[in-house]
Amino acid sequence: MSVAEAVPVILSQQNRASVANIAEAKVIPWTIWSSVAGISCMAIGGIWDFAWHMSIGRDTFWMPPHMLTQLGALLVGISCVHAILATTRSRDLQKRAVSVQVFGLQGPGGAFIALWGSLAMVASAPFDNWQHNAYGLDVTFATPPHVLLFLGSFATMVGTNLRMADLIHRSTPPLQKRLVRLLLVVGAIGLAPLTVLIINQTWFTNMHTASCYLAIALAIPWWMIAWGWGSAHRWGCTIMAAIYMGVGMAAEWLLPLIPAQPKLGPVYHQVTHLVPLCFPLLLIVPAFVTDLLLQRLKQRSWTKAVWIGPAFVLSYLAAQWPFANFLISPASRSWVFGTAYFSYKDPAGFLYDPYKFEVTEKTLSAFLLTMALALVVSVVTTRFGLAWGEGIRRVRR
């Protein structure tokens, strides 16, 4: 793939000159690599944490997935502190010209955002432990410590990607290509927690409900399009979706190889290994359609959103709806698709039929109304993603 394909945004001669005069980047700083490594640790820790809760239970705060997640937050925090202090103490006027000032400190704007995120994640840990000691096990994912952890993790990804977007606009073409790839990797990592937020609505037994596609319209387009379009890569959204699916399938296939058994009750299923969460959503289909439309549509952003948003939802429906028929059938109950895996505390097969489509909308009119709402919402979230992506393309500090 040529550099022109990877980064098709061509700066004007005036902008080239101004960027060249402001601290042209020649290598990827170690602080960026450290932040990406920390975000990767957070992603692995999150996947492992869900499997641990489903297979063993929250036996102690000091479980390995929690430690790995907090290690990732610390790596991001240390990297950001170094970048901020190095800029604050530097006498290089060019370096300081591409920084922002916060409370007397100077540094890359993204570093301040990512630093807040890492501090929020670290602060959520004792808060979460206190809540468990005071109130017992979580009855819902949306507890205050979890929300703080979730917001902090997204802040680390946003801040790190903004730092890379800044470097992309003032670096040589070979370096741009590597930075774009890293930016898309971090963007892809952000898709996983978004799908977890809507996991109840998008579980395979709910894939024949309009609520499933409304949830997708709310959660996915804004993030995927922001970084896919903002990266200026022709296939940015497709690459992100492919990475998301690749990581999800790897977790589906590798986690069950690790022995584990429940330490809490009640135990409805005798688990002998780590239980993966679920087979990843087929987001690569709407991502591919989105990239095709982004390459061809030259209209204003709202017009693009009117075309891309509904196309995103409808192409996802065209792929996921028939795939759901397969997932609910006996043919999917293998290690490849993992629909036979259940948490030790899931009363599937005892209190309910786990292979039966749920009915959320009681009538056809309710289904069509909810689908219409999903299409309208998709336009709004797509427009937000396009606006954010345009901002990413203009980041200069």
Nearest-5° Cα angle at 244, 247 to 111:
100
pLDDT of residue 380: 97
C-alpha span between 197 and 52 (Å, rounded) = 18
User: For 247-256, what is each residue's pLDDT tens digit?
Assistant: 999 999 999 9
Preceding peptide of 266 cis, ω within 30°: yes
Backbone φ/ψ region at 27: left (φ over 0), alpha (ψ -120 to 50), beta: beta
Distances, alpha carbon 363 to alpha carbons 207, 210, 216, 318, in Å? 16, 11, 21, 21
> Mean of the per-residue pLDDT values for the chain?
88
C-alpha span between 308 and 110 (Å, rounded) = 29
What interhelical angle do 144-168 and 30-55 show, nearest 10?
150
Domain ranges of the chain: 23-197, 200-397
- pLDDT category, 8, cuts 50, 70, 90? very low
Mean pLDDT of 149-178: 91
pLDDT of residue 145: 82
Least confident piece of the model among 89-93, 103-107, 278-282, 340-344: 89-93
pLDDT > 70 fraction of the chain, expressed in percent and rounded:
89
Mean pLDDT of 362-385: 96
Q: What pTM, to 2 d.p., does this model score?
A: 0.88
User: For 46-71, what is each residue's pLDDT tens digit?
Assistant: 999 999 989 988 767 788 999 999 99
User: For 186-202, what is each residue's pLDDT tens digit?
Assistant: 999 999 999 999 999 99
pLDDT of residue 127: 82
In the chain, what is the straight-line distance between the N-terminal and C-terminal CA atoms, in Å?
A: 28
How many alpha carbons fall within 13 Å on the CB side of residue 364?
0
pLDDT of residue 395: 79
Find residue 105's DSSP bridge partners: 102
Instruction: List, in order, residues 6 or more apart from 169 with CB less than 8 Å away.
Output: 11, 19, 394, 395, 396
Quickly tell me which residue has 């501090």 as its tokens. Answer: 119
pLDDT of residue 141: 65
User: For 273-325, what is each residue's pLDDT tens digit?
Assistant: 999 989 999 999 999 999 999 999 987 889 999 999 999 999 999 999 999 99
pLDDT of residue 13: 39
Centre a 10 Å sphere on the Cβ of residue 89 and count the other Cβ atoms it contains: 9
Least confident piece of the model among 58-62, 155-159, 208-212, 260-264: 58-62
Nearest-5° Cα angle at 330, 324 to 334:
95
C-alpha span between 326 and 5 (Å, rounded) = 37
Closest CA to 229 of 133, 161, 173, 174: 161
Q: Are 118 and 159 within 8 A, CB to CB? A: no
Closest CA to 221 of 305, 320, 162, 324: 305
List, as own/partner pairs, every contact residues 57-65 make where C-beta atoms lie below 8 angstroms and the sequence separation is at least 24, other chains included.
57/137, 57/262, 57/263, 57/264, 57/344, 57/345, 58/132, 58/137, 58/138, 58/264, 59/263, 59/264, 61/125, 61/128, 61/129, 61/132
Q: Are 115 and 155 within 8 A, CB to CB? A: no
C-alpha span between 187 and 237 (Å, rounded) = 9
Q: Are 64 and 182 within 8 A, CB to CB? A: no
